[in-house]
Amino acid sequence: MRGKIEALLGAQWGDEGKGRVVDAIASRVDVVARFQGGANAGHTVIAEGEKHIFHLLPSGILFPGKTCIIGNGVVVDPDQLLEELGELQRKHKDRARLIISGAAHVVMPYHKLLDGMEERFRGVGRRIGTTKRGIGPCYVDKISRCGIRVEDLLNEDVLREKLAYNLEIKNEILSKVYNEEPLSFGKIFEQAKEWGEKLSPFVGDCSLEIERALQQGKTVLLEGAQGTLLDIDHGTYPYVTSSNATIGGGLTGLGIGPSSISNVIGVAKAYCTRVGSGPFPSEADEETANWLRDRGGEYGATTGRPRRCGWLDLVALRYAVRVNSMTMLALTKLDVLSGLEKIYVCTSYITEKGKTENFSGGSAFLEQAKPVYEELPGWQEDIGECRTFESLPKEARKYVEFIEEVIGIPITLIGVGAEREQVIKRGL
């Protein structure tokens, strides 16, 4: 029988705990594939008493016998990728087979420089708060059709020609617009050739690899990065990342069609966080935000920045379910809410046109939308040891059931702590 594809996507503003959910289900899948984003991602996995933060490697990399794919939709920072691989190799934990698409674009040193310069020039009020990993400028070159792809690193002549062309323009921009020193061709060329040599054993055809796995009846898990509300089209534009973090990105970013997708798993925290600028309707007051940040350890896995914190926004979550056709939800960090008297959830917005339960990423909508909260009773018990739904305090069960009712899909996994075994599985 033909195998199937499952997709796992962030349902909020990123950092929902995608890495840990991939880790929790990786043992039952055969292939784990990243399809968009780059080293702006930081996916945390705590396993066997050790914490790993993956920026580019799929979170299935710790599992022997699995195939991990970095698809054409990803932008690859070779230094970062080689560092991650090297660290795992040193620990003898690079257990999966890795394949990198030759068509994935390479984040070049000038992309990172330009990311920083563009942020500086946007100034206060316009700044996106990017991770400065060169993501936006790299995708710009991809769309402008001048980008350098992983396959180009393997061909010296092509690389020389493409790099020379790119540097000519980038150096004009760096020196004339940003008043910076131009970059030297020789150094980057040598570095890029070395990347090519080191990456060449991993370069392959990801679409074909997935098709073969499906023909053999295997299960392929797509690992999203960022989240629906950071999606370039469906997120809170312009405060978004430069790729499609929603389901469509999974198809174009790997070269697959939709007919084999049998399950779209959303991942959401039991509350909300956001790193960087942009609208966040259910952002909490300072006292509550500090409490959530302390309890949840809400500091960015990539930049270490404190995350903005707020209550669960079910208007936004229903939207994430809709734009991705999510079929189930993994709810993480429920344990963080233990100890609250009352928990607030946003169930609608008041806008100039009245009350609405429909989210829109448009800035005109979000600038004036005010959240309306429902108040639910909290619980005091520590739930870190709970492994069944029934063993959760009554109020925690009610909270989960309330969310399910509003979003219309089942919650099939609940995170009750950051360790690998601290999950309640309800069908995932």
Residues identified as active-site: 15, 43
Contacts of 3 (CB under 8 A, 6+ apart): 30, 213, 214, 215, 216, 217, 218, 219, 220, 260
Binding mask 37-76 for ligand IMO (x = CB under 6 A): ---xxxx---------------------------------
Within its chain, how far is the Cα of 341 from the centroid? 32
The residue among 192, 37, 55, 38 whose CA lies nearest residue 110 is 192
Q: Pick out residues in 35-94 that bind Mg ion (CB under 5 A).
A: 42
d(CA 418, CA 338): 15
User: Hunting for tokens 């991602």 — which residue is that?
Assistant: 41
Least distance to ligand IMO from the beta carbon of 43, Å?
6
d(CA 228, CA 389): 27
Q: Which of 67, 226, 338, 412 binds ligand IMO (CB under 6 A)?
A: 226
Stretch that binds ligand IMO, among 125-133, 192-200, 331-339, 389-397 (CB under 6 A): 125-133
Token couple for 106: 């390479």
336 makes contact, choosing from Mg ion, ligand GDP, ligand IMO, none, with CB < 5 to 8 Å by partner type, with ligand GDP
- Residue 26 interacting with Mg ion (CB under 5 A): no
Binding mask 90-109 for ligand IMO (x = CB under 6 A): --------------------
d(CA 341, CA 171): 57
The residue among 354, 400, 346 whose CA lies nearest residue 375 is 346
Number of residues that bind ligand GDP (CB under 6 A): 22
258 makes contact, choosing from ligand IMO, Mg ion, ligand GDP, none, with CB < 5 to 8 Å by partner type, with none
- Residue 332 interacting with ligand GDP (CB under 6 A): yes
- Residue 10 interacting with ligand IMO (CB under 6 A): yes
The residue among 47, 111, 43 whose CA lies nearest residue 79 is 111
Contacts of 198 (CB under 8 A, 6+ apart): 78, 82
Binding mask 295-334 for Mg ion (x = CB under 5 A): ------x---------------------------------
Backbone angles phi, psi at 229, to 5 degrees: -80, 0
Closer to Mg ion by Cβ: residue 40 or 282: 40
d(CA 17, CA 34): 15
Contacts of 251 (CB under 8 A, 6+ apart): 257, 258
DSSP 224-270: --S-GGG-TTTSSTTSS-SS--SHHHHHHTTT--GGGEEEEEEEEES
- Residue 223 interacting with ligand GDP (CB under 6 A): no
Token couple for 233: 């089209």
Q: Which of 107, 333, 369, 396 binds ligand GDP (CB under 6 A)?
A: 333
The residue among 238, 110, 121, 234 whose CA lies nearest residue 162 is 110
Q: Which of 130, 282, 324, 422 binds ligand IMO (CB under 6 A)?
A: 130
Closer to ligand IMO by Cβ: residue 237 or 373: 237
333 makes contact, choosing from ligand GDP, Mg ion, ligand IMO, none, with CB < 5 to 8 Å by partner type, with ligand GDP
Token couple for 397: 């069960």
- Helix or strand holding residue 396 (H, E): helix 394-407
Contacts of 410 (CB under 8 A, 6+ apart): 328, 329, 404, 426, 427
- Residue 361 interacting with ligand GDP (CB under 6 A): no
Q: Which of 136, 137, 250, 415 binds ligand IMO (CB under 6 A)?
A: 136
Contacts of 360 (CB under 8 A, 6+ apart): 319, 366
Q: Which of 6, 7, 14, 211 binds ligand IMO (CB under 6 A)?
A: 14
- Residue 15 interacting with ligand GDP (CB under 6 A): yes
- Residue 266 interacting with ligand GDP (CB under 6 A): no
Residue showing the smallest CB distance to ligand IMO in the complex: 276
- Residue 241 interacting with ligand IMO (CB under 6 A): yes
Least distance to Mg ion from the beta carbon of 40, Å?
9
Specify whether the CB–CB gap between 324 and 365 falls below 8 A. no
- Residue 340 interacting with ligand GDP (CB under 6 A): no
Interaction site with ligand IMO (CB under 6 A): 10, 14-15, 40-43, 128-131, 133, 135-136, 225-227, 230, 241-242, 275-276, 301
Residues that bind ligand GDP (CB under 6 A): 10, 14-20, 42-44, 46, 297, 301, 332-333, 335-336, 415-418
Q: Which residues bind to Mg ion, rule: CB under 5 A?
A: 15, 42, 301
